[in-house]
Amino acid sequence: MTTETFSNPDLYVNRELSLLEFHRRVLAQARDEALPLLERLRFLCISSSVLDEFFEIRVSGLKQQQAYGAVQRGPDNLSPSEQLRRIAQAALTIIDEQYSVLNEVLLPALNEQNIRFISKEDWSDAQRRWIKRYFNHELAPIMSPIGLDPAHPFPDPLNKSLAFIVNLKGKDAFGRNSGKAIVQAPRALPRVVRLPESCADGPNEFVLLSSIIDAHMDELFPGMHATGVYQFRVTRNSDLFVDEEEVDDLLRALEGELPSRRYGDAVRLEVAQDCSEELESFLMERFHLSADDVYRCNGPVNLMRLATVPELVDRPDLQYPGFTPAVPERIRRANDMFEAVAAGDILLHHPFESFAPVLEFLRQAAKDPQVLSIRQTLYRTGAQSAVVEALTDAASNGKEVVVVIELRARFDEADNIELANHLKSAGAQVVYGVVGHKTHAKMSMVIRREGRALKRYVHLGTGNYHTRTARLYTDYGLFTCDEALGNDVQKVFQQLTALGRAGRLKKLLQSPFTLHKSMLDFIDAEAKNARLGKPARVMAKMNSLVEPQVIQALYRASQAGVKVELIVRGICALRPGVAGVSENIRVRSIVGRFLEHTRVFYFENEGEPRVYLSSADWMGRNFFNRVEICFPVEDEALKRRVVAESFDNYLKDNRQAWELQTDGSYQAATGQTGKRRSAQESLLAALAAS
């Protein structure tokens, strides 16, 4: 098979359509009767949230390409216009399915569990009285309805905010009769309101804020009558643009750009199912959208409103059972983290094992008089961060603290700006990475004086230093004091802060320099071994697989007879099972209780396996436009453990796994009849404390 054959667009799945397939897999969890009911509701809300972000970032980007007449195409050869057309078709199906799941599956099931959402048609007299008081005291004083006329132009609703378009009959006090009005729901109030015991028939009865506003719309327009009230929501372009070559201070530039996210160009309009065509056309015109950009919703126009319900309802029987992440025995038995790491490398597999040792590592470093310096990268950390607290304490205690904060972590920019200012005020040195390259590497290094020598203790990870996501995402973290790895990490930090060359790294692979070439070389080496009749195998687990050269290397390996096992949670542009190209490639996706986030790469290497963990997916942006690290697991016991937990375990999953088909669709991987096996549940049973 020639290189020219690999240019055939039929060999590649469009990345945007592949991402929508992931959204379908998330939504499928909401229908899964084997899952706890409130968790199924969460999955429905997650499916709505990730679709929002898809429109805010991916669709908005395609619309910009279309507007600018972009001619560059991906390996699938689809133009921006063709992608937008196919996205509209797929998204319409997904949104219809979301409301079908809500109305036909989840609401009836919740009702059976005495968790009810009372529509205004079913309010009792007592409920109507209480809701009217709630409206008068909580809503009416802060609402500002806008009747549309030349003196009251169409307002500009915030991104994803709830609003209503209203048809009015009659005249106001000044004799005006515009016929239309816009009402925006107060953002400060909860979208789901619990009815009090005094008027509820059970402990968990709720009304939606939208229903309360709808029922009292006439009261916002005295002397007039609302003849039609329809919810709508506009989704806007939320990508930030900062020309890093032209700004002197990236933090100040981002602070100035953040407000524009709320008022970017409209990319999607959601309207109530019963909205009139006349009002739909009116809104389309105001937001400069076409019919393909409009989605009718058979229920709340923002399903994420329901995400608070599991927290409002005290029903642990309808949620995942709790568990306690384990702490490795060596850490529990050691007097301190440095003693534990000095005894040998330590691997943590979150969330099954605790993130607490990472925090303890930094806390002990902050207090230890022998510690001279701490260096840390932060990408997504959280507004109230225990990591930042430890770094602040270290700086206050006179340690040299250097923190590389990636301000441009999408949707976390504001939090990261706040963290940067907080750390600087405590005396830490804060830098923002490299112009033109996001710093996505996950590294922490402590330099400690031991006798006459300085010793480096390092933590490297596949995920962020974020205590909340450490309980929700699967990630690996490795503690080591290996001299060569520590030296490599120090070189990378110097590169990020001083902008000098890192020099040759002995063990780390780094983007944008060596990671891409190394992955290609490792894959090609397996192909060569297969052609020589030697054992050859590639296994990789990641979030996304898009980069064309890597895909082509995998195709070559498959043609040579290499068995390729890929576990790709989200986007996968590779097509498995294509005759003569990818018969030896199998791709699966796991969607379960925890978000799969580990990046693990395995190469057979003639019986001396190479096993790497990484912050990077196999995407162009990770290889060429970000600072990423990929680090080896060298301890033989830990290497076997990574293979067992990341591949042997996940390749046996027949409960939460989906197999990618040649046409780009996914089918549930039911496997043989018999015992059902979930990889995540197996890890909980094997690793968690309880």
Q: Which band of pLDDT confidence, cut at 50, 70 and 90, is reported for residue 263? A: low
Task: Give residue 58's domain range.
Answer: 9-318
pLDDT at 247 (0 to 100): 37
Can 437 be counted among the known catalytic residues?
Answer: no
CATH number for the domain harbouring residue 552: 3.30.870.10
Please indicate, yes or no, if residue 98 is contained in any of the structural domains.
yes
pLDDT at 410 (0 to 100): 53
CB 15 within 8 A of CB 546: yes
Q: Which phi and psi angles does 333 have, rounded to 5°? A: -85, -20
What are the residues whose beta carbons fall under 8 Å from the beta carbon of 163, sequence distance 6 or more?
157, 182, 183, 184, 185, 231, 232, 233, 234
CA 672 to chain centre: 32
CA distances from 335 to 17, 27, 325, 444, 550 (A): 52, 46, 20, 21, 45
Claim to verify: residue 503 and residue 568 sit in the same structural domain: no
**Amino acid identity for residue 111 in this structure:** N
CB 645 within 8 A of CB 635: no
Q: Are strands 180-184 and 146-147 parallel, antiparallel or unpaired?
A: antiparallel
CA 434 to chain centre: 23
**Amino acid identity for residue 125 in this structure:** D
pLDDT at 562 (0 to 100): 98
Nearest to 133 by CA among 177, 91, 192, 196: 196
25-43 burial, b at 16+ Cβ within 10 Å, e below that, comes to: bbbbbbbeeebbbbbbbbb
**Dihedral of CA 41/44/48/53: which sign?**
positive
Helix, strand or coil, per DSSP, at residue 242: coil
pLDDT at 671 (0 to 100): 60
d(CA 127, CA 110): 20
Claim to verify: residue 428 and residue 532 sit in the same structural domain: no
Domain edge (last residue) among 507, 542, 573: 507
Give me the residue label for tokens 């919703």: 297
From 78-92, 431-445, 453-467, 567-581, the region with the lowest mean pLDDT = 431-445
User: What does the CA dihedral 231, 94, 598, 675 come to, rounded to 10 degrees?
Assistant: 120
d(CA 361, CA 398): 17
Angle of CA points 595, 596, 602, to nearest 5°: 170
d(CA 600, CA 354): 19
Claim to verify: residue 460 and residue 483 sit in the same structural domain: yes
pTM of the full predicted structure? 0.93
Domain edge (last residue) among 491, 507, 523: 507
d(CA 682, CA 45): 26
Q: Looking at the 3D structure of the chain, how many domains does it have?
A: 3
Residue 690: is its pLDDT beyond 70?
A: no
Q: What is the rounded average pLDDT of the residues 622-627? A: 95
Domain edge (last residue) among 463, 484, 507: 507
Nearest to 625 by CA among 413, 409, 439: 439
pLDDT at 412 (0 to 100): 52
What are the residues whose beta carbons fall under 8 Å from the beta carbon of 685, sequence distance 6 or more?
none
Q: Which band of pLDDT confidence, cut at 50, 70 and 90, is reported for residue 381? A: confident
Nearest to 278 by CA among 243, 316, 228, 241: 228
Residue 242: is its pLDDT beyond 80?
A: no
Q: What is the rounded average pLDDT of the residues 574-590? A: 97
Please indicate, yes or no, if residue 2 is contained in any of the structural domains.
no
User: What does the CA dihedral 494, 356, 50, 435 come to, rounded to 10 degrees?
Assistant: -10
Residue 241: is its pLDDT beyond 90?
A: no
CB 659 within 8 A of CB 587: yes
Structure tokens at 134: 């709630």
pLDDT at 665 (0 to 100): 97
Please indicate, yes or no, if residue 328 is contained in any of the structural domains.
no
Which residues lie across from 542 on neighbouring strands? 568
Q: What is the rounded average pLDDT of the residues 658-681? A: 88
Claim to verify: residue 568 and residue 499 sit in the same structural domain: no
Reduced DSSP (H G I as helix, E B as strand, rest coil) percent helix, strand, coil of the chain, to 5: 40, 20, 35
pLDDT at 502 (0 to 100): 65
Q: Which phi and psi angles does 472 have, rounded to 5°? A: -120, -25
Catalytic residue among 23, 216, 350, 440: 440
Helix, strand or coil, per DSSP, at residue 661: coil
Give me the residue label for tokens 């409920």: 127
Claim to verify: residue 28 and residue 133 sit in the same structural domain: yes
Question: 670: how many CB neighbours lie within 10 A of its CB?
Answer: 11
pLDDT at 255 (0 to 100): 43
**Who wins on pLDDT, 156 or 433?**
156
Claim to verify: residue 262 and residue 354 sit in the same structural domain: no
d(CA 357, CA 354): 7
Q: What is the rounded average pLDDT of the residues 589-606? A: 97
Please indicate, yes or no, if residue 515 is contained in any of the structural domains.
yes
Q: Are strands 473-480 and 595-596 parallel, antiparallel or unpaired?
A: parallel
Return the H-helix or E-strand segment holding 60: helix 60-67
Maximum CA extent, the chain: 90
Q: Across the chain, what does the average pLDDT equal?
A: 91
What pLDDT, in 10s, does the model give residues 124-152? Answer: 999 999 999 999 999 999 998 988 875 66
d(CA 208, CA 44): 17
Please indicate, yes or no, if residue 331 is contained in any of the structural domains.
no
Residue 51: is its pLDDT beyond 60?
A: yes
Claim to verify: residue 518 and residue 488 sit in the same structural domain: no
Structure tokens at 481: 């004091």
Which residues lie across from 403 on neighbouring strands? 376, 430
Claim to verify: residue 386 and residue 479 sit in the same structural domain: yes
Please indicate, yes or no, if residue 213 is contained in any of the structural domains.
yes
CATH number for the domain harbouring residue 164: 3.30.1840.10
Please indicate, yes or no, if residue 327 is contained in any of the structural domains.
no
**Dihedral of CA 76/78/84/87: which sign?**
negative
**Dihedral of CA 545/52/295/105: which sign?**
positive
Nearest to 639 by CA among 613, 617, 660: 613
Residue 196: is its pLDDT beyond 70?
A: yes
pLDDT at 248 (0 to 100): 41
Structure tokens at 596: 């799969």
Claim to verify: residue 306 and residue 344 sit in the same structural domain: no
**Amino acid identity for residue 683 in this structure:** L
pLDDT at 245 (0 to 100): 38
Claim to verify: residue 379 and residue 262 sit in the same structural domain: no
Please indicate, yes or no, if residue 324 is contained in any of the structural domains.
no
For 398, counting Cβ atoms within 10 Å of its Cβ (0-12 exposed, 13-18 middle, 19+ buried), the class is exposed
Which residues lie across from 613 on neighbouring strands? 600, 631
**Who wins on pLDDT, 673 or 53?**
53
Claim to verify: residue 553 and residue 417 sit in the same structural domain: no
Claim to verify: residue 407 and residue 345 sit in the same structural domain: yes
**Amino acid identity for residue 257 in this structure:** E
What pLDDT, in 10s, does the model give residues 637-655? Answer: 999 999 999 999 999 999 9
Q: What is the rounded average pLDDT of the residues 567-586? A: 97
pLDDT at 258 (0 to 100): 42
Nearest to 439 by CA among 516, 512, 350, 355: 512
